[in-house]
Amino acid sequence: MSSEKEIHILFTPRFVGERFDDHGIPLSILSELSILEDITLLIAKDLYLKGNVDRKRVLKNFDQGITFELKSIEKGSVIPTIVLVCAMNGLFPVENSVFFKDAGNKLISTIEKASLGLDISNEIPRSAMAQFSKFGKGLRQDEFIEFDQNLPHKAKFDLRTRINLVSAAGESEFSANTKIRGFVSEMNKAKKTFNIESISGAIYTLSYSEDQKQEVHEAFSEYENKSKILVEGTGKVDSSGKLISIEEVDKLTLLDDLDVQFRLDELSLLKDGWLEGNGISPSDDGLSWISESFDKYFHPNLDLPYIYPTPDGNIQAEWEMKNWSVTLDVQLNNKIGYYHAFETISSKEIERDINLSTESGWSELNILLGSLDFE
Amino acid sequence: MVFKPFPKDEGLLSVYNGEKFDVESAYTHYTELQKLASAGVVGVSVSECKAESLNVIDDNDPFDGHSSIDFKDLPAKEILKKAKMLKAKAQLRGWLYIR
């Protein structure tokens, strides 16, 4: 075998979503790219066996001389280039490299079919499809990957495609990055486990590491005072997205009493008729939007508001600052907030309609609230 | 907001008459007889309402001891301001009963 190598571009997946607009990939997602190597290897072996029906198994050194490398990250939104590096055997690349190149194409055509909801049961081995229970878990709801710009549907890999692939493998559960807010209702120091009681009332038993012990203990000892905690980790969800279990805890965060996301999660449980038989429940999309926007744009040095639902299916945020009584009535459908600050001693008032669909609108809100300290 | 009437109230904010209910029995009546959810009890006096030009009507309807603070015919912004004034006064008094 010579030191010459053949380089073949295997995948140029385009990551689409706000997080990728700055042409970077979060490391957690980058690490998932290695799963593509495992999948491609499984498909290549399958193609080899289909092309060599007299063989029961692949050769022992099937992938010798073949490596996968991340070559570069191109702009727009973000396109990592994954190449197959094949050692040369004389003038030609190692014999089996053809199966890996075909496997790459097969994988892309299977994703295209899965994205269209077509039958993929005979496209690639089940073991390869099952790997998608791990690949893509870091993608958010509104993010996706386009594996091939030249295909009609661009081999679009999103949550739906992932579900189709995993389901075709006969799997009913798959991994997903999970955030869950709740209370620590039990702690078992001997087993190093704790129970988290979610806002919806579901209880999950999780393991904690030594460096997470303090947060668990603190939340547990303040359970009666409803001390809130956020668990981030990897969970198992079913095809409807419902969380079944939490496999691994990456991060624990004790939350403020007025944590906005926690409160909005609570409001998501409201049903129509919540107000003495009247009262429309806020929409899930609206709550997701305001939750993400608050997290992203609300200045961390400002006091958190109390948040209430309004009978017309919207929300109201309230702040009490010195003698100022401040309300922000947010229309979830058009993302307009009516800001009203009233000074109860002098009757001075400040009001604004704020467009909360823009970053500048949130800046205006931050400035208005911040300036009340100096009024 | 606690002192702002909801649309279903048609401008009349339901309250318990402090002369006929103590705070605990008001809470019990609201949560157990009316089977409604409540975090606790806060209160304002009739004179505090009148200071905001809000009439208090002892209508005793739908039960004896029911009163209404009259926000009728006020523009939305006036309702908001008066509700904030009542809330500020109630806050000075603090929680009268907590679940």
A240-248 mean pLDDT: 85
**What is the predicted pLDDT for the residue at B7?**
79
Which 3 state secondary structure label does DSSP give B42?
A: coil
The distance from CA A138 to its chain's CA centroid, rounded to whole angstroms, is 5
- What share of chain B in percent tops pLDDT 90? 77
- pLDDT at residue B3 greater than cutoff 90: no
Cross-chain residue pair A342–B8, CB shorter than 8 Å? no
CB neighbourhood size of A180 (10 A):
22
Rounded to whole angstroms, what are the CA distances from A323 to A317, A342, A343, B44? Answer: 17, 8, 6, 18
A329-339 mean pLDDT: 97
C-beta of residue A339 within 8 angstroms of C-beta of residue A368: yes
Average pLDDT of every residue of chain A: 90
More reliable by pLDDT, A30 or A40: A40
Domain residue limits, chain B: 7-98
**What is the predicted pLDDT for the residue at A195?**
96
Helices (H), chain B: 23-28, 46-51, 76-93
Closest Cβ–Cβ partner in A320, A323, A340 for B80? A340
- Which region among A1-5, A258-262, A296-300, A366-370 has the lowest average model confidence (pLDDT)? A1-5
**What is the predicted pLDDT for the residue at A134?**
86
**Helix then strand then coil, % of chain A, to nearest 5:** 30, 35, 35
Chain B residues touching A340 at Cβ < 8 A: 77, 80
- pLDDT at residue A253 greater than cutoff 80: yes
Chain A residue nearest residue B91, CA to CA: A320
Distance from CA of A136 to the nearest CA of B (A): 42
More reliable by pLDDT, A42 or A176: A42
**What is the predicted pLDDT for the residue at B99?**
78
pLDDT tens digit sequence for A177-223: 889 999 999 999 999 999 999 999 999 999 999 999 999 999 999 99
CA angle A288, A289, A295 (to 5 degrees): 90
Distance CA A229, CA A182 (A): 6
- pLDDT at residue A2 greater than cutoff 60: no
- Which region among A20-24, A258-262, B4-8, B40-44 has the lowest average model confidence (pLDDT)? A20-24
- What share of chain B in percent tops pLDDT 70? 99
- pLDDT at residue A1 greater than cutoff 60: no
Q: How many helices (H) and strands (E) does chain B have?
A: 3, 5
Distance CA B68, CA A211 (A): 56
Residues of A with CB under 8 A from a CB of B: 275-276, 278, 308, 311-312, 316, 318, 320, 323, 325, 327, 340, 342, 344, 347, 349, 351
pLDDT tens digit sequence for A49-98: 999 888 888 888 888 889 999 887 776 667 889 998 888 777 666 778 89
Chain A residues touching B77 at Cβ < 8 A: 340, 351
Q: Nearest to residue A66, comparing CAs of A83, A48, A91?
A: A83
Chain B residues touching A275 at Cβ < 8 A: 6, 8
Residues of B with CB under 8 A from a CB of A: 1, 6-8, 36, 77, 80-81, 84-85, 87-88, 91
Chain A residue nearest residue B87, CA to CA: A325
Q: Nearest to residue A321, comparing CAs of A300, A306, A336?
A: A306
**What is the predicted pLDDT for the residue at A206?**
94
pLDDT tens digit sequence for A269-288: 999 999 888 899 999 999 99
pLDDT tens digit sequence for B11-47: 999 999 999 999 999 999 999 998 888 889 999 999 9
Distance CA A166, CA A241 (A): 13
Rounded to whole angstroms, what are the CA distances from A190 to A42, A186, A207, A211, A213? Answer: 41, 12, 11, 15, 12
Cross-chain residue pair A349–B81, CB shorter than 8 Å? yes
More reliable by pLDDT, A202 or A242: A202
With 0-12 / 13-18 / 19 or more C-beta atoms within 10 angstroms meaning exposed / middle / buried, residue B40 is: exposed
Chain A residue nearest residue B7, CA to CA: A311
Which residue of A280, A342, A349, A353 to mutate against B (max B Cβ within 10 Å)?
A: A342
